[in-house]
Structure 1
Amino acid sequence: MHRSAPRLTRILACAAVPVMLVVAGCSSDSDGETPGKGAAESSAGSSKTPKDATPTVAPAKFAKLPEACKAITAKTVDALVPKAKTKTGTAGKSTDLSSRSSCSWNGLVDKGLKGSEYRWLDVSFLRYESNPTLGSGEERATENMAKEVAKLKATEGAKGVRESPANGVGDATTAVSYQLRKTSTDFVYATTVARTGNVMIVINYNGAGYAGAEKPVAQKLMDSAVLATKDAVAAVAAANK
């Protein structure tokens, strides 16, 4: 009974002061928590960065592809495929020309008793967008470039496969050459797989000799393929000016 006296005294004292002071001075009997502490902690917690924030990637360098059949200059086409059936080239089918396009040329040069020389040239463009999940456009182009080179080196029936870098062409270029026998004739292939920014370019140049004509020299074909690759790299830059 005596222990409750101090508490009773405080209650009576609170009753004797204005209502506003009662609220402020007597609320401390509740739980001893500092006023406003919970709100401050809540505010501090809300300022933390979410752990699942979406990662960002660098934007793709090129937004457009050139018109494939105009990407290789007429001068280069005349030099590589002298008797092309269609000088302006044959465009490949594509459902999205801003991401994928291609064009090809082929022709046969008749040298009479010395036989005939066949040549085929094609160019393909593949553009990659930046994606937070898959990586930047340049990273994706680099990854697919490696896959394309591996696929070329694994061509069924290919003989004498050789791989080498073609320095000074685009951001990176790999040259792959090999021989392949088709329709009882030995074809020589010179292919370049290049990257410029977020665009991958594949140039395929091949040829064969018929009716006694000698098969083409691999190095000469590759030099020509590199020349066409330079045209294609320049065309990508021009299309995005």
Structure 2
Amino acid sequence: MSEGTMHRSAERDQHLHRGGRGRGGRGVRRFLVAAAALPVMLVAAGCSSDSGSGDDAAKESASPAAKESATASANEVKAAAYAKLPEACTMLPKKTLEDLVPEGAKDGKPINDGEPDVSGDCRWISLDNNGVKGSQYRWLSVSLLLLESDASRGPGDERARAQFEKKVSEAQAVEGAKGLKSESVTGTGDQATVVRYDLKKKEGTFKQQTVVVRAENVVITLDYNGAGLAGDKAPDADDLVKGAKAAAKEIVTAIGSANGQGGGSGSGSSASPSKEPSKKPAEDSSKEPSKSASPSASESKTKS
């Protein structure tokens, strides 16, 4: 190979080398530019994403307060109408007690240890003992239950409505009741029912009346029974019912009075059963019927 040929071959190789390097360099530069642009796109996308996340975060930061407000609204319940109860043993007028339990009008005694302004009860026992001519026996008890409004258990009047239904069902389920009748009572509280029946005991037949009343958020259970003992004539059940209804109405008035509504318990009409025990002094006041003479179902009632 001549020297000129060798020289041209060398120049050609150098030219090809430089040209190849130039094309390769441009390719590399294009790759680097594209690679550099990719992070910029990713950063832009990230900023856009962060902007959306910021809005969500703002919403989330505000949601606890909104949720708390919604919860507070949901937990609000209607305030109960009554907050106090009258004293059970002194809420009935003297005249009413003398009509219903003449020999025991002054001897009202609590049945259980009640909780002030939540529950209370009282019992009166009357025995007009006429010796060999027989005796008239009367038994009166009153139980009060106040149901407060509560966020977890509901408004007081709704809770009282449930208790009212429960008390009526209990009165209707007394074992041994004969001739049981139930009827609504108008003009007394918001709901009222009287349950009446006969209950036979070894001492005689007892005429039982149970009046259950709901006055707003208070439930009243009044039990009144009577019997003619030792051969005396049994009292008239209609007269006993009349007296029990009148007393229940007066108790509603007493509850309103205790809460600053209307007149006192003495303003109500007194109960006046046409047949009542004689008010003559007892010849032997130590003689009383055994505990079984009073309907056990009434004595054993407890507050819910």
TM-score, normalized by length of structure 2?
0.67
Shift in Å, 1:236: 0.9
Which of 174, 180, 188 is matched with 1:155 structurally? 174
- Does 2:113 match 1:101? no
- Does 2:198 match 1:176? no
Which of 228, 231, 238 is matched with 1:209 structurally? 228
- Does 2:39 match 1:39? no
Shift in Å, 1:111: 4.6
Q: Secondary structure at the match of 2:139?
A: strand
Q: 1:66 to 1:28 in 2, by over 3 A?
A: farther
Shift in Å, 1:31: 4.7
Distance 2:41 2:240 in 1: 92
Which of 163, 171, 174 is matched with 1:144 structurally? 163
2:101 corresponds to = 81
Distance 1:2 1:42 in 2: 42
- Does 2:16 match 1:3? no
Most deviating of 50-59 and 86-95: 50-59
Unpaired runs of at least 5, structure 2: 1-27, 261-304
Q: Contact 2:114–2:121 (CA<8 Å) still a contact in 1? A: no
Shift in Å, 1:36: 3.3
Name the structure where strand makes up a greater proportion of residues: 1
Which amino acid letter does the alignment assign opposite residue 213 of structure 1?
Answer: D
Distance 1:79 1:95 in 2: 26
Higher CA-based Rg: 2
Which of 126, 148, 153 is matched with 1:134 structurally? 153
Kindly report the root-mean-square deviation, in angstroms, between the aligned alpha carbons of the 2 structures. 2.6
2:212 corresponds to = 193
Distance 1:194 1:3 in 2: 94
1:30 corresponds to = 43
Q: Secondary structure at the match of 1:107?
A: strand
Which amino acid letter does the alignment assign opposite residue 30 of structure 1?
Answer: V
Q: Between the two proteins, what is the percent identity of the paired residues?
A: 35
Distance 2:84 2:227 in 1: 35
- Does 2:74 match 1:59? no
Which amino acid letter does the alignment assign opposite residue 3 of structure 1?
Answer: R
Name the structure where helix makes up a greater proportion of residues: 2
Which of 80, 83, 92 is matched with 1:72 structurally? 92
Q: Secondary structure at the match of 2:81?
A: coil
Unpaired runs of at least 5, structure 1: 11-25
Paired positions, count = 226
Shift in Å, 1:114: 4.4
Q: Secondary structure at the match of 1:66?
A: coil
